Amino acid sequence: MDHKQQIAAYFEAHREELLRDAAELIRIPSEKGEPKPGMPFGESPAKALDAAERMAGNMGFSVRNYDHYVLAVDLNDRPRQLDILAHLDVVPAGSGWTVTRPFEPLVKDGKLYGRGAADDKGPAVAALYAMKAVRDLGVPLKKSARLVLGSDEECGSADMKHYYEAEPEAPMTFSPDAEFPVVNIEKGRYSTWVRASWAEDAALPRILSVRGGVKSNVVPDTAEAVVEGLPAAELSGYARVASARTGVRFLVREENGKAVVEAHGICAHASTPGDGNNAVTGLIDLLCGIPFADSEGFRRLRAVNRLFPHGDWKGTAAGVAMKDAISGELTMSLNLFDCRTTGLKGYFDGRTPVSATDRNLKDAFCARARSLGLEPDGEGVSPAHHVPADTPFVRTLLKCYEQYTGRKGRCLAIGGGTYAHRLKNGVAFGCSMPGTDNRMHAADEYAVVDDLLVSAKIFTQAIIDLCS
């Protein structure tokens, strides 16, 4: 039976309710915090789960809270056929917001703005309303769907580890935490710390500190260095030249007899580092172009610059650039950095194609880093996730997408990782439409309102087709 007209009418009637509930969740600044009793990821993520629990409970669904790690919402009491995995935690708000404040949701020009609007609170609410639509429309099902709402996706997914220790995987799983049509390949990871240490050298001029980055999976938009023995006016001249070269904006000031340099770039998700402008590598580029006193520490900073030169996010300088036909090319970005007078450490985020292995990636990178006097930690390559495109599950999702968008469906590979990454039959499915930049992890994040509603319709049809 074709339910398309009924589904379309349903979401036209419930448009404002869906937006209201998405806005309620966006208002909660659910960044990871210090764990507390009954709040494994801090107060705000727990508050977001509580709000979603009330929301789903008021709709009449059966809801189970798994120790404030995740929340599970069941469509009916039949055997589970489909899990939909979304998350309510968010990356830090960051700077540079212009349309509204990060946790003050605003609908403007057909877009819902706010941190989490696209990643992943808007999609989570769209999935919840899809379950409500299936139930309210009285569509008969043989199996059940479950919406699983997590609270630690951005910081390691310990929430889902806890959940799957208690529950088996559903036969099919999708996560609305990426883009349409269907993401059946998620790149692997090679991400680790690189370190160096040395005895302090007080020869002037010298660098006292370089710091930048807030999250390992976010290309940093700010960084700061403190310099001793070099006037701010002279440093400003070098900064102007480096800014023209890198596109990073530098601000130089005197403070307590020292020069402080702020670097301002463009934030981006680590899976798409080319969309940003890395403030950390831009600042290191500036510093390495200044004639500081020769020291072991300055030589090690220049080694970092050689390993991760500004603008190189494909691993070319590290000797590990690679790509394959089904999953694309490797990306690599230096996202956390801390350099003091006796040592440094930097964390890079690498997203790896299906063809990447310890031998052709880790071993090659470590050899290059050690040749420069830097020591990587011991982590190896985590392989890519791949669900074949010709499975009935993937074909059904593509059909639903085509039915409600009129666009041709196809399978995609992405650098980002979703909850589906470690599940045998898990894929990412929505909510971003092709060609839309929702500014996930960046300032002025938004969800296109019409796209959220179309996503809810697609999810409704997918539940019906997969669970009938």
In the chain the domains, ranked by start, together with CATH numbers, are 4-187+385-467 (3.40.630.10), 189-376 (3.30.70.360)
- Dist. CA 381–CA 330, nearest whole Å: 12
Q: What is the pLDDT of residue 94?
A: 87
What is the C-alpha to C-alpha distance for residues 400 and 468, in angstroms, rounded to an integer?
Answer: 14
Write down the pLDDT at residue 389. 93
**Mean pLDDT score of the chain, rounded to an integer?**
96
- What does the alpha-carbon distance between residue 57 and residue 21 come to, in Å, rounded to a whole number? 13
- Per the residue annotation, which of 31, 89, 152, 159 is the catalytic one? 89
pLDDT at 416: 78
pLDDT at 394: 98
Radius of gyration of the chain (CA): 24
27's CB contacts (< 8 A; 6+ apart) are: 103, 104, 105, 114
Strand ranges in 237-278 using DSSP code E only, listed in sequence order: 249-255, 258-264, 268-269
DSSP string, 144-162: EEEEEEES-GGGT-HHHHH
Choosing from 53, 152, 153, 444, the catalytic residue is 153
Judge whether 89 counts as a catalytic residue.
yes
* Dihedral sign of CA atoms 140, 143, 147, 153 in order: negative
pLDDT for the residue 217: 86
- What integer is the mean pLDDT of 91-103? 94
In angstroms, the CA 73 to CA 64 distance is 7
Q: Is the pLDDT of residue 442 over 90?
A: no
pLDDT bin (cut points 50, 70, 90) of residue 311 is: very high
Q: Is the pLDDT of residue 86 over 90?
A: yes
Taking 60 as the threshold, does the pLDDT of residue 229 lie above it? yes
pLDDT at 156 (0 to 100):
87
Q: What is the pTM of this model?
A: 0.78
Residues sharing a CB contact under 8 Å with residue 243, sequence separation 6 or more, in sequence order: 249, 250
Token pair of 185 as six digits: 């390949």
Q: What average pLDDT does range 428-444 have in this prediction?
A: 93
pLDDT in the model for residue 80? 97
Q: How far apart are CA 97 and CA 439, in angstroms?
A: 11
The 10s digit of each residue's pLDDT in 370-412 is 999 999 998 899 999 999 999 999 999 999 999 999 999 999 9
What is the maximum span of the chain, computed from C-alpha positions, in angstroms? 79
Indicate the pLDDT class of residue 314, thresholds 50, 70 and 90: very high
The string of pLDDT tens digits covering residues 347-377 is 999 999 999 999 999 999 999 999 999 999 9
Q: Are 25 and 135 in contact, with CB atoms under 8 Å apart?
A: no
**Who's near 230: CB < 8 A, 6+ residues apart?**
204, 205, 259, 290, 292
- The pLDDT, as a whole number, for residue 1 is 57
DSSP state of 277: B
Instruction: State the pLDDT at residue 468.
Output: 93
* Nearest in space to 215 (alpha carbons), one of 321, 133, 335: 335
In single-letter form, the type of residue at position 203 comes to: A
Pairwise CA distance, residues 345 & 436, whole Å: 35
Q: What is the pLDDT of residue 57?
A: 98
**Residue 24 DSSP SS3:** helix
In whole angstroms, what is the distance from residue 360 CA to residue 322 CA? 9
Q: Dump pLDDT digits (tens) for 98-151.
A: 999 999 999 999 999 999 999 999 999 999 999 999 999 999 999 999 999 999
Are 52 and 71 within 8 A, CB to CB?
Answer: yes
pLDDT digits (tens, 9 = 90+) for 252-309: 999 999 999 999 999 998 989 999 999 999 999 999 999 999 999 999 999 999 999 9
Q: Tell me what percent of the residues of the chain surpass a pLDDT of 70.
A: 100
Is 201 catalytic? The answer is no
Q: CA-to-CA distance for 15 and 312, rounded, in angstroms?
A: 44
